Structure formats: C-alpha cells, structure tokens
Amino acid sequence: MSQACLLASWREKTLRLSQAIIPLLLLGSLTLSSRAAEPASPDSLVFCAYNVRNWLIMDRFEDNKVVKDSTKPESEKAAVITHLKAIAPDVLGLSEIGSADDLREIQSLLKTAGIDLPHSEIAQGGDPTRRLGFLSRFTIASRQSVSDLTYELEGKIFSVQRGFLDATIQPRPNLNFRFIGVHLKSMREVPEADQALMRRNEASLLRKHLDGILSESPESAILLYGDFNEYRHEAPIKAIQGSRTGVLFMEDIRITDKRGETWTHYWEAADSYSRLDYLFMSRAMKPFIDVSHSFIFDSHDFDQASDHRPIVTKLKLPTSEAE
C-alpha cells in the first residue's frame, strides 16, 4: 500500500474507531485491566532537533585560563540531558557532536534518564571537529548521509563543513520518514572566503540533494532540520525551500515558545536573539505533522546547556488497524 493510501485509510479507520469507542466510554465498559491487557499502539512520535554546543574535545577557557583538550563541562552536559528528558524525544537530531564516542555518551546518559534511543547515525563533512548526530527509538531503515560535497568559491575548493545527515526510519510498515540534518557554515568571519557566500553554496548543494530525492520520489515524507545559521528572509533559506508553487517545495514549520516568540539562538556577546534553527517539511510529510504540538522548548536556564534552544515537532502515526 502506498503512503498516500495508508494516510487515507488511517483517517477512515480513525473515524470508525472513535465512533465505536465513545459509546463504550459512556457505558463505562473500558476498565483499567482491559486497557492494560491490550495496550494501544503509540499514535505519534516526538522529534527534537538540538544544537548542543560543542559536545566535543576542544580547548576551552575555564577559570580565567585556557584548558587544552577539555570536554564539555559536566554541568552543561547535565543541563542538556535534563532538557531532553523533559522533551522525551523518540527521534533526536543533534548538532555540534565531536565524535562517535560523544554521541554514544549522550545515548548512554539519555538511557540512564529513561530515554532509550538505541539506533544511531553520525555524519561529517570537511570540519574535522564538529559532526551531526542522530538517535532513534526506531530502527534506521536507510542511511544516505553525504560527507564529500565540495564547491568552488573565489578560485578555491571548499567542503561542506558538516556534510548532510540523511537517515530514514520506518515507524510503521509501509511508512517511511526521512530525516535530513544540517549545520551550515557559521556566521563567523574566516580569512579563506566570505562566510555568507560559503553558506549560500552549502545551501545550494543541500537544495540539489533534496531535488535528487524528490524528483525521483515526490511522495517522500522528508523532515529537514538543523542549525542553518541564517535568517528566514535571506537567500540561502529561500533556495533551500524552493518554489512555493512547485511539488518540490519544503515548507517552513513555524513554531514558537510558550510566549509566542520564535528565537532559537542567543548570542551573549551581542545580546542578540535570533531564529537560526528550522524545521522544513516536504509536501508528503505535511499530513503527518502535528503543528499544535510543535514548539520551541522554553526553559529559563536554557543557556546552561547551550546557546541554542531545542526545537520540537510531533509526527502523527497511523493506527495499526490502518496498516
């Protein structure tokens, strides 16, 4: 059964199921023991994208001195895990992971906190220090991460710094969700080339990657996420989204915190709040996105963990009857 047919069947089955259950609830026929004996299948999954700020080995400035080859402070690690425990993700996309060992550390700490995400993927590009990580409660059915993309700028060849993480899970038979994670070039000036042009080239290659997928399989349910290091009105974001009227368009999932604010990053040196982290969905993914339960995680001590706030969306899953 195709994914489109599955969705239509799910909607029809859900309506019939609700019509059957409501009279039983009124009669008091559903007891606690019967629910325990026949537990309902989960009808959704929670996805979180989070730049965890340098969960890696690096030189750090601590106690007014430079400390060589230092790990992320334990207090910051604990804050990251506390926030993720509150979110309780089923699938987690991470930016600024140092190595596979760092990803395994997060995986282990989350399991100790009660969140078991046993399946993982890691991706990297030209940056030898920072990578992308992915953890999932569901088996990863396909891995298509890209690490070797390059572009030419001002006569020089550059690598996409963090590559593109590309992993597909199958939370239901015949239902595939494809997650593509990115962390585009930062806004930090570098001597090699203009940082904005570097990011624009990375965005162009990302759009090419999306076009390759959607041109061949327009029914692909894709969730594109990550730290794009760009403002919503700038050319790289427009390029990534594509034509609004086209079948390959990637729609911005507009999320807010509990106050209705949209910023995801705080730059302390400039006292600046910006939206740099995004979630984009393909047209085939849109029916599964529960916008009413999608949000920017809001905590007064978010900065104890990272300079970014986690972004969260809920994906609706068909019931087992609809499969």
The residue type of 243 is S
pLDDT in the model for residue 320: 58
**How many alpha carbons fall within 13 Å on the CB side of residue 52?**
34
Q: What pTM value is reported for the model?
A: 0.86
Q: What pLDDT tens digit does each residue of the chain (323 aa) get?
A: 555 554 445 445 444 434 443 333 333 332 222 222 223 348 999 999 999 999 999 999 888 889 999 999 999 999 999 999 999 999 999 999 999 999 999 999 999 999 999 999 999 999 999 999 999 999 999 999 999 999 999 999 999 999 999 999 999 999 999 999 999 999 999 999 999 999 999 999 999 999 999 999 999 999 999 999 999 999 999 999 999 999 999 999 999 999 999 999 999 999 999 999 999 999 999 999 999 999 999 999 999 999 999 999 999 998 755 44
pLDDT in the model for residue 318: 86
pLDDT in the model for residue 15: 40
| Cα-based angle 283, 285, 288 (whole degrees, multiple of 5) | 130
Q: Are strands 65-70 and 150-153 parallel, antiparallel or unpaired?
A: unpaired
pLDDT in the model for residue 38: 29
pLDDT in the model for residue 61: 87
List the structure tokens of 287: 């029916």
Asked whether the beta carbons of 21 and 290 are under 8 A apart, the reply is no
Q: Which of 80, 127, 81, 72 is nearest to 101 (CA)?
A: 72
Put the strands of the sheet holding 131-136 in their side by side order. Answer: 119-123, 131-136, 91-97, 44-55, 311-316, 289-296
Q: What percent helix, strand, coil does the chain show, rounded to 5?
A: 30, 35, 35
pLDDT in the model for residue 3: 55
Asked whether the beta carbons of 138 and 170 are under 8 A apart, the reply is yes
pLDDT in the model for residue 30: 29
Domains and CATH numbers, the chain: 1-40 (no CATH), 44-322 (3.60.10.10)
